[in-house]
Amino acid sequence: MKNQNKNMSAVIVMAYASCAGTLAGNLAKDCDTPLAGGYTGRGVLIALADNPTIVQSATNPRTISSITMPQGKKVAVIDNSFGPTPLTGSNTQSNTDDGMLKYRKTLVVQIPQRGSDVSKDVVEPLSQAPLGYLAIMEKKDRQGNGSFEVVGFEQGLTANEDGIRRNEYENGGCTIATLSCNETWYEVAFFDTDYNTTLEAFEALLAQGY
């Protein structure tokens, strides 16, 4: 009995320690570098009528593992990293307007390019494209899956009524476009194996911009 008490006294009970749960995967690197909210301002708009090749993950179709543009097709570059009005971002809100739960997603983006070619190839099609657009927005958080948000995959983004405007004396003279869609998936991500690989693929799309 004496030996049993001695053994019991040697047992050390560790206190539960957490910085908001177990840190793993994409949650956070450590307690000193938590997730960062918001967007960098970089992004692209892809016209779905251009028939980009989109590959989804076999395990979760909400993950887009690759996007390839057809030869000669370009993307519209979004740049909300400057100007007095930064990216409003993706405002996602649930609704049942169609008799089932969907998510209304709205983007307010700045298109910095200007000129007659941009008018013809980028701005005017925003309100005319029948299939709408897919947007990829880069987030400030750089953990991996979830760092690049995709909007408009299920239902293409289209311009809201009076959603295209420009004032040469505001926002650096950028075109401001307000686009919306209704989707059944709360969040879709552009992600391929790790953050750096995905960043490289994202920047390759940026390089194909007007």
In the prediction, which pLDDT does 160 show? 87
Q: What percent of the chain has pLDDT over 90?
A: 38
For residue 31, count CB atoms less than 10 angstroms from its CB and return exposed for 0-12, middle for 13-18, buried for 19 or more.
Answer: exposed
In the prediction, which pLDDT does 24 show? 44
For residue 6, what are the contacts with CB-CB under 8 A and spacing of at least 6?
A: none
In the prediction, which pLDDT does 121 show? 86
3-state SS string for the chain: CHHHHHHHHCCCCCCCCCCCCCCCCCCCCECCECCCCCEEEEEEEEEHHHCCEEEECCCCCCEEEEEECCCCCCEEEEECCCCCCCCCEEEEEEECCCCCCEEEEEEEEEECCCCHHHHHHHHHHHCCCCCCEEEEEEECCCCCCCCEEEECCCCCEEEEEEEEEECCCCHHHCEEEEEEEEECCCCEEECECEHHHHHHHHHHHHCCEC
In the prediction, which pLDDT does 202 show? 95
174: nearest Cα among 39, 41, 49: 41
What is the average pLDDT across 5-19?
Answer: 48
In the prediction, which pLDDT does 90 show? 57
Most confident range (mean pLDDT) of 27-41, 75-89, 153-167, 189-203 is: 189-203
In the prediction, which pLDDT does 37 show? 76
* 162 vs 87: which has the higher pLDDT: 162
Task: Give the predicted TM-score (pTM) of the model.
Answer: 0.77
152: nearest Cα among 32, 49, 60, 28: 49
In the prediction, which pLDDT does 25 show? 46
Average pLDDT, the chain: 80
Whole-angstrom CA distances from 199 to 39, 51, 145, 176, 190 are: 14, 22, 11, 25, 9
Model confidence band, residue 151 (pLDDT cutoffs 50, 70, 90): very high
Model confidence band, residue 50 (pLDDT cutoffs 50, 70, 90): very high
CB 134 within 8 A of CB 189: no
pLDDT per residue over 100-143, tens digit each?
Answer: 678 888 888 888 888 898 888 888 888 887 799 999 999 888 88
Residue 33 confidence (pLDDT) above 60? yes
What is the average pLDDT across 20-48?
Answer: 68
